A and B are shown apart, each in its own frame.
Chain A
Amino acid sequence: EVHLVQSGAEVKKPGATVKLSCKVSGYNFADYHMHWVQQAPGKGLEWMGLINPEDGETLYAEKLQDRVSISADTSTDTAYMELSSLRFEDTAIYYCTISRDWAFPSWGQGTLVTVSS
C-alpha cells in the first residue's frame, strides 16, 4: 500500500524559509512524479510544482517559481519542498501527492505552516 508521510507543523516569521519533507513507502519512489499542493485557509487547492525523482527534473507554478524549490533523495525515498521569503499569505496546509494518469491518487496527511510575526 502506498503511504506518504509528511513532516510536522511549522511556525515561521515573515521572510524566513521553510523546508517540508514527504517520505514515501509502498512503491518505487522513482516511478511517479511527486507534486506539492497548497491549501490556504478558506481557499481552494493550488498546485505548486513537481519533481521527477528519477532524474531530478522539476517544474514549478509560475507565481511561485522564484520562491519554491522541490528536491528528492532517492536514497531515503523522501521528497522535500522549500519555500523562501515567507509571507503571511503563505500560511496554509501543504500536501505532497503523486501523479498517475494525470490525477493524484495518493496524498500525504498535510503539513500546516503558519507564518506569524
Chain B
Amino acid sequence: QSVLTQPPSVSGAPGQRVTISCSGSSSNIGAGFDVSWYKRLPGTAPKLLIYLNSNRPSGVPDRFSGSKSGTSASLAITGLQAEDEADYYCQSYDSSLSGWVFGGGTKLTVL
C-alpha cells in the first residue's frame, strides 16, 4: 500500500486530455511538501516530468502540467499522443516517515 494514492489506470484517445490524481495526507502533500511526477516506460528508468508541483524540466513538452491543492496533486496531459502510453508516478516527502514517498503508479493507455 503506497503512501500516495493514484488510480491504477487511466485512458484516453489521441488528442484528448487526461488527468492523473495523487492523493496524500497532512504529513506529506498537505504539509506543504512539493510534488514531482515521473514517466516510466517498460525496461527504462523513470523520467522526471514535473518538479516543485508545476515546473517542467528543460525538454518536457508543455502538454504536461502539474498542480497541487490541499492534500492532493494532479498531472494533466493534453493533446494525448501514442508515445504518452506509459506508467506515471507521483512523489513527495513524508514527515511522519522521514523519507521520500511515491504513489503506486498509474498506467496510461492511449486508445
Contacts and interface: CB of A to CB of B under 8 A. Distances in A.
A104 B46 contact: yes
Contacts of A107: 45-47
Interface stretch (B13-21, B30-38, B78-86): B30-38
A101 to B, nearest CB: 5
Interface string A86-107: 0000000001010101111101
Interface residues of A, number: 24
B93 interface: yes
B93 to A, nearest CB: 6
A112 B52 CA distance: 30
Interface stretch (A8-16, A24-32, A39-47, A73-81): A39-47
A101 B34 contact: yes
Contact of B36 (A50, A61, A104): A104
B99 A110 contact: no
Contact of A103 (B51, B98, B99, B104): B51
B33 A45 contact: no
A37 B62 CA distance: 27
Greatest chain A CB density within 10 A among B47, B57, B99 is at B99
Contact of B99 (A59, A95, A101): A59
A24 to B, nearest CB: 14
A53 interface: no
A104 B38 contact: yes
Given A45-B46, A46-B102, 18 more contacts: A35-B100, A37-B102, A44-B102, A45-B89, A45-B102, A47-B100, A47-B101, A62-B97, A99-B100, A101-B51, A101-B55, A102-B36, A102-B92, A102-B93, A103-B34, A103-B36, A105-B51, A107-B46
Interface of B: 2, 33-34, 36, 38, 45-48, 51-52, 55, 57, 89, 91-93, 97-105
